[in-house]
């Protein structure tokens, strides 16, 4: 089996994943700015890097996964001027900024739990790491790549670019950036329009402020990730992840800051997920075209035809490769629901197939099944291609269903291969893809009772009652299956 390869945005090619200190892996991912509800766009980054976290763990790595919470310094329009996004929300709601932070952080965690996104190993907050951020600014100043003006500190991009390439991640050229940049109001204290804030002196009306050697103020948005990744993963680590919209300027600035303070690039592999679009346009809070996860779960949005369960959302994200755009539509979500239920039915069927204890094993189809399972891993190892891995799992499922229906004898596999089939299918669906069965706690008892009524009606040839019970099952999204071996049920796909 080929090793894991990841597309490295920095080199613009797929590279074999070779961690700096195997079997340990350090991964940092940019988390949310907690000033509003999490929306469908947020779910893509969370699920993408949850899969990477799960898969690295599944294939034997020991992963320290750091995903931050931005609770200060992220100004409106992602600029160096203007109001803090969280402070603005606090002012509108007439509450303390940290009340906003706590409320939306809790809501974010609840939404992630619904989506079965695992908690990161460490979840640091920007406001809790002022010492580390101030120390990094002092290092950059000492290295001559930043300057202080009126209590604010700015990163000197032209000075940095003399010996380094500012723009190497995004493919931008400083001269082109300068040619296309107009001077903005409030930026006169910068030496160059490309320079970005490491520390901002707080205006009298700015609520969120901390003491520093330069002024009472707050750190720049880009700085927090450089400081916190270094604290928890060291000056060099394996993977830095985030949404494609963060590549410039946020991640570009992170690279510059880390190089300016540590004299080395922080991350070996830069991994970016593409965006979720709606009518071809990026879904985002700033554009006002987003659908929150809670609206999706309840169906309470004008664009939604129905409510969609968390696992439907998760499957919707997984059925596209993380580097491709993914356009929202009700049709795509309904198709995702069917695909998810197919995989859940596979888990259910596997539990019902038993390998005869006294069977004579042929093992005739062992190689065929092993190839199907290998295809799943081949797809995941090819830049985490969950779309192809799911297609391969559907092929595995055909084999499982053929044994369940009696079309192929279970003994065509060796007992060892049958066990391997069960274990691998279950591990890939639940542990790697993170899909779980959504069902009420008492569903089994309800279905057993309905199936008994169905059997009694069928034995009595009361076909009107049989049709009535089938209709009740259909309301639950379930189909009754009349089989030679008896009566069974499955989720309606």
| Final residue of a structural domain among 383, 398, 431 | 431
Question: Any binding-site annotation on 252?
Answer: no
235 and 88 share one domain: yes
Question: Any binding-site annotation on 250?
Answer: yes
Judged by DSSP in three states, 82 sits in: coil
Question: Any binding-site annotation on 455?
Answer: no
Q: Which pLDDT does position 185 carry in this prediction?
A: 46
Residue count of the chain, please give it.
Answer: 493
| Final residue of a structural domain among 273, 308, 340 | 273
103 and 137 share one domain: yes
Q: Rounded to two decimals, what is the model's pTM?
A: 0.90
Please identify every stretch of the chain with a pLDDT value under 50, giving residue numbers as ranges. Answer: 185-186
Residue span of the structural domain in which 483 resides: 442-491
82 and 182 share one domain: yes
Q: Which pLDDT does position 441 carry in this prediction?
A: 64
CATH number of 98's domain? 3.40.50.620
- φ, ψ of residue 271 to 5 degrees: the values are -120, 125
Which residues does 262 contact at the CB level (< 8 Å), separation at least 6?
A: 230, 235, 236
Which residues does 146 contact at the CB level (< 8 Å), separation at least 6?
A: 137, 140, 153, 154, 155, 156, 198, 260
Residue 254: HSE in the Cβ half-sphere, 13 Å Cα cutoff: 28
- CA pair distance 227, 221, nearest whole angstrom: 11
Tens digit of pLDDT for each residue in 49-105? Answer: 999 999 999 999 999 999 999 998 788 777 788 888 888 888 888 988 899 999 999
Indicate the angle between helix axes 366-381 and 415-426, nearest 10 degrees: 30
Question: Any binding-site annotation on 253?
Answer: no
* Paired sense of beta strands 276-278 and 152-155, if any: unpaired
- CA pair distance 27, 238, nearest whole angstrom: 6
Taking only Cα atoms into account, the Rg of the chain, rounded to an integer number of angstroms, comes to 27
73 and 211 share one domain: yes
Q: How many domains does the chain have?
A: 3
Does the residue 1 lie in any domain?
A: no
356 and 388 share one domain: yes
Question: Any binding-site annotation on 285?
Answer: yes
- CA pair distance 292, 300, nearest whole angstrom: 10
User: Could you write out the DSSP letters of every residue in 368-419?
Assistant: HHHHHHHHHHHHHHBT--HHHHHHHHHHHHHHHHHHHTTSS-GGGS-HHHHH
């Amino acid at each position: 089996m080929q090793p894991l390869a990841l597309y490295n945005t920095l080199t613009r090619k797929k590279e074999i994943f070779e961690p700096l200190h195997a079997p340990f892996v350090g991964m940092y991912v940019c988390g949310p700015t907690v000033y509003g509800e999490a929306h469908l766009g947020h779910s893509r980054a969370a699920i993408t890097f949850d899969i990477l976290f799960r898969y690295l763990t599944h294939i034997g790595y020991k992963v320290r996964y750091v995903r931050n919470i931005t609770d200060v310094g992220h100004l409106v329009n992602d600029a160096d001027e203007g109001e803090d996004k969280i402070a603005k929300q606090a002012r509108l709601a007439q509450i303390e900024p940290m009340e906003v932070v706590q409320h939306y952080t809790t809501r974010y965690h609840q939404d992630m739990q619904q989506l079965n996104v695992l908690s990161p190993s460490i979840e640091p907050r920007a406001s809790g790491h002022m010492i580390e951020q101030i120390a990094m600014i002092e290092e950059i100043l000492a290295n001559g790549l930043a300057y202080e003006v009126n209590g604010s500190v700015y990163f000197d991009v032209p000075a940095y670019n003399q010996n380094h390439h500012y723009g190497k991640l995004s493919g931008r050229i400083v001269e082109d950036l300068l040619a296309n940049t107009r001077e903005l109001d409030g930026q006169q204290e910068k030496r160059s329009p490309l320079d970005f804030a490491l520390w901002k002196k707080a205006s009298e009306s700015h609520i969120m402020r901390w003491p520093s050697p330069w002024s009472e103020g707050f750190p720049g948005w880009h700085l927090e990730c450089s400081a916190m990744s270094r604290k928890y993963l060291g000056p060099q680590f394996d993977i830095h992840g985030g949404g494609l919209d963060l590549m410039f300027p946020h991640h570009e600035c992170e690279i510059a800051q880390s190089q300016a303070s540590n004299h080395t690039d922080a991350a070996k592999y830069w991994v970016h997920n593409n965006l979720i679009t709606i009518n071809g346009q990026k879904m985002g809070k700033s554009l006002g075209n987003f659908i929150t996860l809670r609206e999706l779960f309840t169906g309470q949005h004008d664009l939604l035809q129905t409510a969609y369960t968390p696992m439907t959302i998760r499957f919707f994200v997984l059925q596209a490769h993380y580097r491709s755009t993914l356009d929202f539509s009700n049709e795509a979500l309904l198709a995702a629901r069917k695909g998810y239920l197919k995989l859940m039915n596979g888990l259910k069927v596997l539990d019902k197939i038993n390998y005869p204890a006294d069977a004579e094993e042929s093992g005739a189809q062992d190689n065929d099944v092993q190839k199907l399972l290998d295809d799943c891993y081949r797809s995941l190892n090819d830049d985490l291609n969950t779309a192809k891995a799911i297609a391969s799992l559907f092929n595995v499922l055909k084999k499982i269903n053929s044994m369940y229906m009696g079309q192929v004898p279970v003994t065509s596999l060796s007992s060892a291969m049958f066990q391997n089939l069960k274990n691998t299918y279950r591990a890939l669906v639940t542990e790697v893809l993170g899909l779980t069965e959504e069902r009420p706690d008492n569903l089994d008892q309800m279905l057993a009772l309905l199936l008994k009524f169905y059997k009694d009606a069928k034995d009595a040839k009361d076909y009107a009652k049989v049709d009535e019970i089938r209709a009740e099952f259909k309301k639950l999204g379930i189909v009754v299956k009349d089989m030679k071996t008896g009566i069974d049920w499955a989720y309606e796909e």
